[in-house]
């Protein structure tokens, strides 16, 4: 025991000091790359690790080069980005965990332009005075939807909260029990209602709510009826809900508001592409809703945003509310949103917006690409074949519906290990596992990422 203690003491005494390590040429290069203070912290971390190892009886002769290398590894890990690009081969088009809608090239250009320098975020060029960020994208939204006014905040959860707070705080809001939804991350409509200061009045049952249920619930303290679209679930069988137009008529007769959380931001009809019809933003406004709110990064295909459209006076009231500042959108989100909206106005959505390009992509085209990929993989010795499959829209849109697709199925003895290796690749690949196969859906793989996908599969499969 005494000999071990003596040996440990000798090893501790022989550890180089920080000053000595800082004088090494390789460390000087680290300091130039990472800064002196951060490099110093890395060296101390490396020395502390070595001391702990020595005291635990696992020490070895100190080596300055290995200590510096350990410091370099610490620096690289510390500064490595956690928000990384990936290849989405899952077949889920609007994948919430993978960033929802990928931006179009014009939206990316707009982001770079607005974010790479100064911009007219809150500056009026005509007057030379302070302007308002609320005007950005407003005219485009008005043109697209026919609404009197519009504004954008940082996401749709914020839009719902702001709408209820600004228009209904201290009063009652009627909602069907079948619409008390919870979406990902624990966002619950009852909790949002409570946070807004409005008092929730539930009507109907989970599966059936009638017009007379709403009418009976109207009191002198009623501010609005709130309709929340079933964005991430379906109620089937013995069900009923009154149409928006009937609710709009009821609201008008009682001089209350009809507020609609449409959610997905669909501006185009989904039915022509083999999907069930998704209620659009225009449907809600044309039915007579006073305010419609929805997401910017779901079926709209743009940046994260919560968009509110509707009557001018109500949108103005929402814009002026103090909460609006707390949930405002930033310049890059507004730039991307404006560029995306412009693609709808110029009839370019199906060509330029990735989400809609994926939805509208013909099955024969997907099959041809899947066959090409499988053949390429087979040539490289990978056991791969093409099978039938389904793609989903995802992102809390069109639950229970899917699109036919063709999948590249990779056979592997240990498919979980393959999936883990692909996730650890320099450009991670995220696919799905089914029946002991690693499945890749060409529908959601961006064209510029196809070669990187195949290279990764050849390397690890």
Check whether residue 157 and residue 251 sit in a common domain. Answer: yes
Read off the pLDDT of residues 294-303 as tens digits, 9 standing for 90 and up: 999 999 999 9
Least confident residue range of 54-63, 146-155, 252-261: 54-63
Check whether residue 184 and residue 225 sit in a common domain. Answer: yes
Residue 63 has pLDDT above 90, yes or no: no
What is the Cα–Cα distance from 101 to 156, expressed in whole angstroms?
Answer: 14
Predicted pLDDT of residue 5: 63
Residue 59 has pLDDT above 70, yes or no: no
Check whether residue 342 and residue 379 sit in a common domain. Answer: no
Check whether residue 336 and residue 454 sit in a common domain. Answer: no
Residue % of the chain over a pLDDT of 90: 81
What is the Cα–Cα distance from 420 to 426, expressed in whole angstroms?
Answer: 12
Check whether residue 329 and residue 391 sit in a common domain. Answer: no
Q: What is the mean pLDDT of residues 117-145?
A: 94
Check whether residue 7 and residue 120 sit in a common domain. Answer: no
Band of pLDDT at residue 220, cut at 50, 70 and 90: very high
Out of 352, 367, 387, a domain closes at 352
Distance from CA of residue 76 to its chain's centroid?
27
The H-assigned helical ranges of 290-414 are 312-320, 323-326, 331-345, 349-352, 354-360, 363-379
Domain containing 426 equals: 87-94+356-460
134 closest CA partner among 320, 293, 295, 356: 320
Burial 261-272 (b: 16+ CB within 10 A, else e): bbbbbbbbebee
Predicted pLDDT of residue 339: 98
Count of CA atoms in the C-beta half-sphere (13 A) of 262: 31
Q: What is the mean pLDDT of residues 62-79?
A: 91
Distances in Å between the alpha carbon of 228 and those of 77, 200, 297?
A: 43, 13, 18
Check whether residue 394 and residue 285 sit in a common domain. Answer: no
How many folded domains does the chain comprise? 3
Out of 327, 352, 377, a domain closes at 352
Helix (H, G, I), strand (E, B) or coil at 60: coil
Residue 327 has pLDDT above 70, yes or no: yes
Is residue 393 classed exposed, middle or buried when 0-12, 13-18 and 19+ CB atoms within 10 A define those classes? buried
Check whether residue 57 and residue 109 sit in a common domain. Answer: no
- Annotate 397-436 with DSSP letters as a single string: EEEEEEEEEEEEEEE-TTHHHHHHHHHTSSS-EE-EEETT
Check whether residue 319 and residue 247 sit in a common domain. Answer: yes
* The model scores a pTM over 0.85: yes
Considering only the C-alpha atoms of the chain, give the largest distance between any 2 of them, rounded to a whole number of Å. 94
Check whether residue 65 and residue 176 sit in a common domain. Answer: no
**In DSSP terms, which residues pair with 202 in a beta bridge?**
175
Residue 435 has pLDDT above 60, yes or no: yes
Q: What CATH number does residue 337 fall under?
A: 3.40.640.10
Under a CB-based contact definition with an 8 Å cutoff, are residues 332 and 303 in contact? yes
Q: What is the mean pLDDT of residues 171-178?
A: 96
What is the Cα–Cα distance from 121 to 140, expressed in whole angstroms?
Answer: 16
Number of H helices, E strands in the chain: 20, 18
Check whether residue 128 and residue 143 sit in a common domain. Answer: yes
Check whether residue 249 and residue 389 sit in a common domain. Answer: no
Out of 352, 384, 414, a domain closes at 352
Tell which phi-psi region holds residue 281, choosing left (phi > 0), alpha (psi between -120 and 50) or beta. Answer: alpha
Phi–psi pair at 60, nearest 5 degrees: -140, 170
Q: What CATH number does residue 388 fall under?
A: 3.90.1150.180
Band of pLDDT at residue 185, cut at 50, 70 and 90: low
């Amino acid at each position: 025991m005494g000999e071990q203690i003596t040996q440990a003491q000798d090893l501790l005494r022989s550890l180089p000091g920080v000053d000595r390590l800082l004088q090494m040429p390789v460390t000087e290069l680290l300091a130039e790359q990472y800064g002196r203070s951060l490099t110093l912290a890395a060296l101390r971390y490396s020395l502390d690790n070595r001391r702990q190892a020595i005291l635990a009886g696992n020490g070895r002769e100190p080596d300055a080069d290995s200590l510096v290398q350990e410091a370099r590894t610490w620096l690289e890990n510390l500064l490595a980005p956690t928000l990384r690009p990936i290849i989405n081969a899952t077949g889920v088009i609007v994948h919430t965990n993978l960033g929802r809608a990928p931006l179009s090239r014009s939206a990316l250009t707009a982001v770079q332009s607005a974010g790479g320098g100064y911009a007219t975020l809150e500056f009026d060029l005509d007057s030379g005075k302070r302007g308002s960020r609320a005007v950005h994208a407003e005219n485009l939204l008005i043109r697209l939807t026919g609404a009197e006014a519009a504004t954008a905040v940082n996401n749709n959860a914020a839009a719902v909260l702001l709408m209820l707070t600004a228009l209904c705080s201290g009063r009652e809001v009627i909602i069907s029990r079948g619409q008390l939804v919870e979406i990902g991350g624990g966002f619950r409509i009852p909790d949002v209602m409570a946070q807004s200061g409005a008092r929730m009045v539930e009507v109907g049952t989970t599966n059936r709510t009638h017009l007379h249920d709403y009418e009976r619930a109207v009191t002198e303290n009623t501010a609005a009826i709130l309709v929340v679209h079933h964005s991430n679930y379906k109620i089937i069988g013995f069900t009923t809900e009154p149409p928006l137009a009937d609710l709009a008529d009821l609201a008008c007769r009682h001089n209350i508001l009809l507020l609609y959380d449409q959610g997905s931001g669909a501006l185009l009809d989904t039915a022509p592409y083999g999907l069930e019809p998704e209620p659009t933003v225009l449907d809600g406004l044309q039915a007579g809703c006073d305010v419609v709110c929805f997401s910017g990064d779901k079926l709209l295909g743009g940046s994260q945003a919560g968009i509110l459209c509707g009557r001018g006076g109500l949108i103005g009231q929402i814009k002026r509310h103090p909460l609006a500042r707390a949930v405002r959108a930033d310049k890059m989100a507004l730039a991307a949103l404006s560029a995306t909206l412009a693609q709808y106005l110029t009839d370019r959505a199906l060509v330029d917006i990735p989400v809609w390009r994926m939805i509208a992509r013909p099955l024969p085209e997907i099959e041809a690409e899947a066959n090409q990929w499988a053949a390429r993989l087979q040539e490289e010795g990978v056991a791969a074949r093409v099978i039938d499959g389904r793609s989903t829209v995802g992102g809390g849109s069109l639950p229970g519906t899917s699109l036919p697709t063709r999948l590249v199925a990779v056979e592997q003895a240990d498919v979980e290990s393959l999936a883990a290796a692909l996730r650890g690749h320099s450009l991670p690949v995220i696919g799905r596992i089914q029946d002991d196969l690693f499945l890749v859906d060409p529908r959601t793989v961006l064209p510029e990422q196809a070669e990187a996908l195949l290279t990764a599969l050849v390397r690890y499969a």
